[in-house]
Amino acid sequence: MNPPSFSKLPILIKPFLLSLFLSIFFLVFLSTQSPLLRLKTTTNPPSNGSAGGLRIRRGYTSYNAYIERQLNKTLNPKLRKIWTTRDWDRKIRVFAGVFQSLKQRKLILNESKALSIGARVGQEVAAMKMVGVSDAVGIDLVPYPPLVMKGDFHAQPFRNQTFDFEFSNVFDHALYPWKFVGEIERTLKPGGVCVLHVAVARQTDKFSANDLYSVQPLLELFKESELLEVRKVDAFGLDTEVVFRKKKINPY
Ligand SMILES: *[C@@H]1O[C@H](CO)[C@@H](O)[C@H](O)[C@H]1NC(C)=O
Ligand SMILES: *[C@@H]1O[C@H](CO)[C@@H](O)[C@H](O)[C@H]1NC(C)=O
Ligand SMILES: *[C@@H]1O[C@H](CO)[C@@H](O)[C@H](O)[C@H]1NC(C)=O
Ligand SMILES: *[C@@H]1O[C@H](CO)[C@@H](O)[C@H](O)[C@H]1NC(C)=O
């Protein structure tokens, strides 16, 4: 009886090893082509590292040029007219729904001291008051008394730990998103809630200063807060509601 010849083994092993290498190579190739990874590499725009998925639009030569452009929209007499007349009731109705829902989730209370950031003519502020949040105010570059006072969201005119609740749907207008968020965290009381309405992965308007491709950059920007909720909404072209709570214990 002939035992299997050992000299034959290498010949059998060679094709085996070859196909093993080929399949490993093929698997590695496949993994780089998987939709998940592809999405990650193509949707991450150039960023400065701290916040992938957030792109600051180019074209502002200075902070003043940026402010001027923002003022151009805010001061546009035609727009202001529409905001205070035709738009008013419809916006208040939608915002009242937003704040009512936040009340049901105990994220804003009647006794909350509340701020609306980039409030224009103050529809959100009026809506907060309508649902029972009486201590509410807005800030914008152009004041609209008594609902909206003058204030730049890059340098809020308030002392540290002033508010229980802050709302904004103008994150995309921030030239310096880290300052926008830093100011929210500075002026929120510990345990205070911030609600942002943002557009994810779609063009906002020509006055936008940044584009957001996912909520991930927000998680990185809100350094002193925890994420409570991310929900789909349909709010004037903005599709995502993100809720943060400022942590109670300052880690530093
Ligand atoms: C990048 O982000 C950091 C804060 O996260 C900021 O201080 C810095 O100025 C930004 N750099 C550019 C080029 O936008
Ligand atoms: C402001 O808007 C007007 C008219 O829409 C335009 O002519 C002007 O150049 C704008 N100014 C700035 C600083 O964008
Ligand atoms: C909040 O205020 C509204 C309107 O003033 C009132 O109807 C409601 O009962 C209040 N809710 C609570 C929990 O106090
Ligand atoms: C306010 O908060 C900022 C940032 O958290 C901090 O650097 C600053 O010292 C605080 N100011 C006061 C007066 O506590």
Q: Could you count the other beta carbons within 10 Å of the beta carbon of residue 56?
A: 18
Q: For the chain, what are the domain ranges?
A: 10-42, 52-246
223 lines ligand 1 (CB under 6 A): no
31 lines ligand 3 (CB under 6 A): no
pTM, two decimals, is 0.77
Tell me how far CA of residue 196 lies from CA of 19, 118, 153, 193, 222, in angstroms.
53, 11, 13, 10, 12
- The pLDDT value recorded for residue 251 is 54
The fourth-level CATH superfamily of domain 52-246 is: Vaccinia Virus protein VP39 (3.40.50.150)
If you measure from the C-alpha of residue 187 to the centroid of ligand 4, how many angstroms do you get, rounded to a whole number?
9
- The pLDDT value recorded for residue 101 is 97
Select from 107, 110, 112 the residue to mutate for testing ligand 3; criterion: most ligand atoms less than 8 Å from CB: 110
- The pLDDT value recorded for residue 10 is 61
Tens place of pLDDT for every residue, the chain, 252 residues?
A: 455 554 555 666 677 777 877 777 766 665 554 444 333 333 334 444 445 688 888 878 889 999 998 998 889 999 899 999 999 999 999 999 999 999 999 999 999 999 999 999 999 999 999 999 999 999 999 999 999 999 999 999 999 999 999 999 999 999 999 999 999 999 999 999 999 999 986 666 777 888 888 899 999 999 999 999 999 998 888 999 999 999 997 555
Q: Could you count the other beta carbons within 10 Å of the beta carbon of residue 180?
A: 24
Which listed ligand is nearest to 71 at the C-alpha?
Answer: 2
What is the distance between the alpha carbons of residues 51 and 179, in angstroms, rounded to a whole number? 13
Question: Which residue is closest in CA terms to ligand 3's atom 4?
Answer: 132
Instruction: List, in sequence order, every residue forming a beta bridge with 195; answer none if it has no partner.
Output: 167, 243
72 lines ligand 2 (CB under 6 A): yes
- The pLDDT value recorded for residue 250 is 58
Phi, psi of 212 (to 5 degrees): -110, 130
Which listed ligand is nearest to 131 at the C-alpha?
Answer: 3
Question: Which residue is closest in CA terms to ligand 2's atom 14?
Answer: 69
72 lines ligand 1 (CB under 6 A): no
- By DSSP bridging, strand 163-168 and strand 238-246 are unpaired
- The pLDDT value recorded for residue 153 is 97
- The pLDDT value recorded for residue 249 is 76
Which listed ligand is nearest to 96 at the C-alpha?
Answer: 3
Q: Give one DSSP letter per residue of 128-188, joined into a string.
A: HHHTT--SEEEEESS-BTTTEEE-BTTB-SS-SS-EEEEEES-GGG-SSHHHHHHHHHHHE
110 lines ligand 3 (CB under 6 A): yes
118 neighbors 149 (Cβ within 8 angstroms): no
Question: Which residue is closest in CA terms to ligand 1's atom 5?
Answer: 50
130 lines ligand 3 (CB under 6 A): no
76 lines ligand 2 (CB under 6 A): no
